[in-house]
Structure 1
Amino acid sequence: MSALDKADGRRTIVIGGPPTTNGDLHVGHVAGPYVGADTHVRYLRATGRDVLFASGGDDSQTYCVTSAARLGTTPRELTAKSWGLIKGTFEAIGVDLDGFAPTDDGYRATVYDYVNRLYELGKFRMRTVRLPYSEATGKFLVEGLVGGDCPHCLADSRGGICEACGLPIDFDALIEPWSILDPSDPVTLREADIMVFPLEEYRERLIAFHREKESSWRPHAVTFMRELLSKPLPDFPITYPIDWGMPAPFAETPGQTLNAWLEGMPASMYCHAHARRMLGEHVPANDDAWLAEHDNRLLFFVGFDNLFIWAGVHVAELIAHEGRYILPDTLLCNEFYELDNDKFSTSKGHLVWTRDLVQDVPRDIARFYLNLTAPEHSRTNFSRAALEKVAGERLVGPWNDLAATLAKLTAEAGVEDEPLPVSPEARGYAAVIVERFSLCLQLSSFSLSRAADLIVQNVARLRQQADRAGEQGLDRDALRLRLGDPYLQLRALITSASPILIDLAAEAARVGGFEPRMAADAFDVATTTAFPVPALSMRAASARA
């Protein structure tokens, strides 16, 4: 077993980057880091690990300004509304957070403590840089306020980081910059004195960190970091001369705000502190779980377009705290998830809202399809027609046939409440089921798509077993001797699939009187019992009403 997957008693802290509160979450948002993080967290819990999973809103992004302008509201009103929408969407799709933190005084204090500590350690520098500037409004345009073409890959981009290639874009490097708020507004370049974090000073330490970790990271993340670290790193802006965001606390930068991306790490610290308090734990400080003395395991689940921030900037920040904090054990990076073979786009209305999807189809069906089509190594595609066909034909139909056949055979045998003998072979098969799912859901070989496909494979196999038993015309005693094997394996399958089919597993555990526990010895039993196998549906209760 890899050191990443060893059950060593350490608490695991899982981060799915705080989502930008400029609207609700569409399917493309949740299909990457959030479903992946939630599935892994549920696996850890099913194996008895101590895990903490939390998130919160990211209110300071300039995308909140542009989205508010497009919607005819204010950024503050939009972020407040979006926080509630996002929290509700996570609950609707079954992303089981221990807490979803508000952007309150505790949040802001945590950010300022983190930033001021780096400042007092002398980690920041003042720089004079050229930034895009709106001649009409007299304001600087940064990050989501300015568009243009990426100087690295020539794709349409925004300031700061290119979504297409993931590389950072220097302050004045956008090709033919234009204002997102008013494309007709002439954009020039003006100098500004800002505070920066000199990433180049940490390049060698970042190289050493990534060399140590790259054997467990996905290939695209490895090649991206190799490219990034093969050349001098840019200065990362700590402050911007704009009016949206948290006011910068430095005397050198009056009137400026903190770069929203800087909040990611301390925001995550606060989110987990908030979650711990929700769980009734004593939390002496909001960054307590990150302190090196506790030796917790830290995991990042992020999209490819955020690799520069989470695998570069945030790791360098943690290093810059000079041993105060743990560093991430690993980072799970996903690619883009498309809709009908085109990019999800809120502004163009090309999207499927997650809450709308789970109002129409059960969230187990949505989660199964999102896992099966997860963008793990390349772009993948969401299609409602494909969801209906694939989930219906590969999962729902075969599952319900299996459930009906077992119910019929159980009734014929009259063994609803009596112990059923289990063969040594079936115990071995149950252990294999748990082992194969564990390989898919543990970090060193993590694959949502393979885990979802394992559900399909095992349902088909158990259905064939049940069908053969039914076709043989066995009497009651013979059936009693045969039914224990498929029921034990079905328990193993439901348990192993519980991180994906969350509602099915909960109902099966309730009616079957068992707790989903992913351990091979959980199925090393001489007898088992029959139980009513819950059916699956392609329509949510709200859609059927």
Structure 2
Amino acid sequence: MTESDQRPRILIAATPTPNGDLHVGHMAGPYLAADVYARYLRATGLSVTATTATDDSQTYVVSTAQRKNTTPARLAADSTVAIERSLTAMGIEPTAPEGRVLPPIDARYREAVTEFVTALHEAGRLRTLTVRLPYAERAGRHLYDGLLTGTCPSCGAGSSGGTCEDCGHPNNFDELLDARYALDPEDPVSFREETILVLPMEEYRAELEAHFAEVLPRWRPHPAQLIRELLAGPLPVIPVTIPGSWGVPAPFAPTPGQIVYPWVEAMPASMYATWWANGEDQALPYDEYWKASNGAELVYFHGFDNVYHWGLVDLVLLLAHGDRYIRPSASVVNEFYELDHAKFSTSRNHLIRGAELVAGTPRDTARFYLALTLPERERTNFDRAGLAEVTARRLTGPWNELAARLASLTDAAGSAPQQVTAAGRADQERFATAMRGCFELTGFSVARAAELIADRIATLNERAAGQADLGDLLAAVRSLLGWAAPILVDTARLAAEAGVVLSLAPEPVDKIAPFRLPSLP
């Protein structure tokens, strides 16, 4: 982003599946990163819509509901409430009307999905294709995504249908090896031919290659490599309809009784969520804010296991609409965050929910630790002992020492404004440049930002202990507060309420009034 680039921003965090609450592994992935980036952009004065929507149509809602002996509708409703509670508890604030968090999956949502796929059909973008689909004989159900389990044909790991969590490669239709029904592995699985509607990804190869030539330099190495691997071979077709009973009905004569393939919903869902977040103006179409004519910059936040869908499938869905829509300028992709060196798992109850974490840990402390340890380029690990030890040593202890020293110095100096030297202003600019590099897309790294914040606290503590020039120290602490605000949200709020100006681009000043640094609990 440049100073002259004042385009509105649309940030989409991967749509959460409402088959349970969000756990810390989710929080340390797309949701915290998107929230930090949104707060940074807003602090620079930009218009930002940061949003997402629950992915109610996913088969994982169906499979989890059956395991829990409830209905998919009840599970989705209860899980959405839990997801909203955890987001709020972690201080993650999607753009939303007052008193709301996530958009309702209602009739207007379903209309948006239907309008989106109908426009593709009417434009002649979709093709009929007869494919072989796994079928659970006793259950009498076609198997795909979360209803299907087997072996990835690309890497040999255990995988669900759709994509492999380990290598990120897709497996469509009958491609998954050793196909079994996820809810009953003993149920015999046969293969039945069905005619569905598909979108041929290969037809968009030239546009895909041109797009990624431009944007991949802003991607992290591992997901960028996966995109290159996928582009190196034949590109698959995208299922647009599928035989199923849970989802948005597909309104097409060639595929009666089918639903819109759940992964296809992500784009109209994101458009609908953006429209809803901006006040759900009924006079505007659901896709208004995504129109290319409005010139917004679009950024996705998601995990490595969603690179195929968010990186390729969703892009092709936009391209298939011609020049109507904006395209993503970057995807901020995280790896897996582990708990005690094992994957978070709802089924094994190996997890910590977001709301549970902040019930026993101050929110800023939790956000700092997740920021410091989140899996940006490789798998990382969460453990409660590490949270307590690391934050006490690198955040809470040094921060409160600095607050006490600053209070002592300002008490001794009185209320008169203090002189800020040229050297002090240069020091602030060096820190601002380093932090700005963490928050801009070309090098976006919440973990590096947290590291710089911890290091800066230590440095300013040394200066305060050494009786540094008070004006320069006050200016440096104010700059620290401003740049830490996207992570330390409650502390920044307390400082702002006390009158501390937290602008990321303050006018250079010769003098600064004394203030107190809020302590961390």
Same fold (TM over 0.5): yes
- Aligned partner of 2:103 among 101, 104, 111: 101
1:461 match: 459
- Aligned partner of 1:191 among 193, 199, 202: 193
Structure 2 CA distance for aligned equivalents of residues 384 and 177 of structure 1: 38
1:291 match: 291
Which amino acid counterpart does residue 77 of structure 2 have in structure 1? Answer: A
- 1:484 CA drift (Å): 1.7
Structure 2 CA distance for aligned equivalents of residues 407 and 326 of structure 1: 50
- 1:5 CA drift (Å): 4.5
Task: Decide whether the 8 Å contact of 1:298 with 1:330 is kept in 2.
Answer: yes
Structure 2 residue 149 is matched with structure 1 residue 144: no
- 1:435 CA drift (Å): 1.7
Task: Decide whether the 8 Å contact of 1:431 with 1:523 is kept in 2.
Answer: no
1:422 match: 420
Which amino acid counterpart does residue 461 of structure 2 have in structure 1? Answer: R
Secondary structure of 2:278 counterpart: helix
Task: Decide whether the 8 Å contact of 1:147 with 1:177 is kept in 2.
Answer: yes
Structure 2 residue 489 is matched with structure 1 residue 502: yes
Secondary structure of 1:418 counterpart: coil
1:78 match: 75
Task: Decide whether the 8 Å contact of 1:17 with 1:268 is kept in 2.
Answer: no
- 1:249 CA drift (Å): 0.8
Structure 2 residue 510 is matched with structure 1 residue 536: no
Structure 2 residue 61 is matched with structure 1 residue 64: yes
- Aligned partner of 1:12 among 3, 9, 12: 9
| Cα 1:376–1:164 shift into 2, 3 Å | same
Matches within 5 A, 1:375-394: 375-394=375-394
Structure 1 CA distance for aligned equivalents of residues 429 and 91 of structure 2: 27
Structure 2 CA distance for aligned equivalents of residues 118 and 8 of structure 1: 32
1:213 match: 215
Structure 1 CA distance for aligned equivalents of residues 508 and 214 of structure 2: 38
Structure 2 CA distance for aligned equivalents of residues 402 and 494 of structure 1: 12
2:355 match: 355
What are the superposed Cα offsets for residues 436-494 of structure 1, whole Å, 9 maximum, x if unpaired? 1111011111111110001111100110011111xxxxxxxxx9xx3222111000000
Structure 2 residue 136 is matched with structure 1 residue 155: no
1:541 match: none
- Aligned partner of 2:119 among 117, 120, 129: 117
Structure 1 CA distance for aligned equivalents of residues 140 and 417 of structure 2: 79
1:472 match: none
- Aligned partner of 1:517 among 503, 508, 513: 503
Task: Decide whether the 8 Å contact of 2:500 with 2:515 is kept in 1.
Answer: no
What is the root-mean-square deviation of aligned Cα atoms in Å? 1.4
Which amino acid counterpart does residue 330 of structure 2 have in structure 1? Answer: T
- 1:150 CA drift (Å): 0.4
Task: Decide whether the 8 Å contact of 1:427 with 1:523 is kept in 2.
Answer: no
Structure 2 residue 434 is matched with structure 1 residue 436: yes
Structure 2 CA distance for aligned equivalents of residues 5 and 123 of structure 1: 37
Task: Decide whether the 8 Å contact of 2:478 with 2:501 is kept in 1.
Answer: no
Matches within 5 A, 1:219-258: 219-258=221-260
Secondary structure of 1:88 counterpart: helix
1:400 match: 400
Task: Decide whether the 8 Å contact of 1:5 with 1:444 is kept in 2.
Answer: no
Structure 2 CA distance for aligned equivalents of residues 363 and 312 of structure 1: 35
What are the superposed Cα offsets for residues 338-382 of structure 1, whole Å, 9 maximum, x if unpaired? 111111110011111111001111111111111111211111111
1:488 match: 475
- 1:295 CA drift (Å): 1.2
Structure 1 CA distance for aligned equivalents of residues 110 and 407 of structure 2: 56
Which amino acid counterpart does residue 536 of structure 1 have in structure 2? Answer: L
Task: Decide whether the 8 Å contact of 1:54 with 1:98 is kept in 2.
Answer: yes
Which amino acid counterpart does residue 269 of structure 1 have in structure 2? Answer: M
List gaps (5 residues or longer) in structure 2. Answer: 97-101
- 1:6 CA drift (Å): 4.8
- 1:418 CA drift (Å): 2.4
Structure 2 residue 71 is matched with structure 1 residue 87: no
- 1:174 CA drift (Å): 1.2
1:540 match: none
Task: Decide whether the 8 Å contact of 1:92 with 1:355 is kept in 2.
Answer: yes
What are the superposed Cα offsets for residues 50-73 of structure 1, whole Å, 9 maximum, x if unpaired? 111112211000000111112221
What are the superposed Cα offsets for residues 252-287 of structure 1, whole Å, 9 maximum, x if unpaired? 111111111000000000001001116xx7862110
Task: Decide whether the 8 Å contact of 1:168 with 1:308 is kept in 2.
Answer: yes
Give the alignment's TM-score, normalised by structure 1: 0.92
- 1:170 CA drift (Å): 2.4
Structure 2 residue 48 is matched with structure 1 residue 51: yes
Which amino acid counterpart does residue 150 of structure 1 have in structure 2? Answer: C
Task: Decide whether the 8 Å contact of 1:5 with 1:443 is kept in 2.
Answer: no
Task: Decide whether the 8 Å contact of 1:358 with 1:366 is kept in 2.
Answer: yes
- Identity among equivalent positions (%) equals 46
What are the superposed Cα offsets for residues 209-265 of structure 1, whole Å, 9 maximum, x if unpaired? 111212222111221111101111111111111111111111111111111100000
1:451 match: 449
Structure 1 CA distance for aligned equivalents of residues 446 and 389 of structure 2: 19
1:475 match: none
| Cα 1:468–1:523 shift into 2, 3 Å | farther
List gaps (5 residues or longer) in structure 1. Answer: 470-478, 538-545
- 1:409 CA drift (Å): 2.4
2:99 match: none
- 1:523 CA drift (Å): 5.3
1:174 match: 176
Secondary structure of 1:277 counterpart: coil
- 1:163 CA drift (Å): 0.9
- 1:11 CA drift (Å): 0.6
Structure 2 CA distance for aligned equivalents of residues 125 and 515 of structure 1: 57
What are the superposed Cα offsets for residues 177-236 of structure 1, whole Å, 9 maximum, x if unpaired? 111111221222221111111111112221121112122221112211111011111111
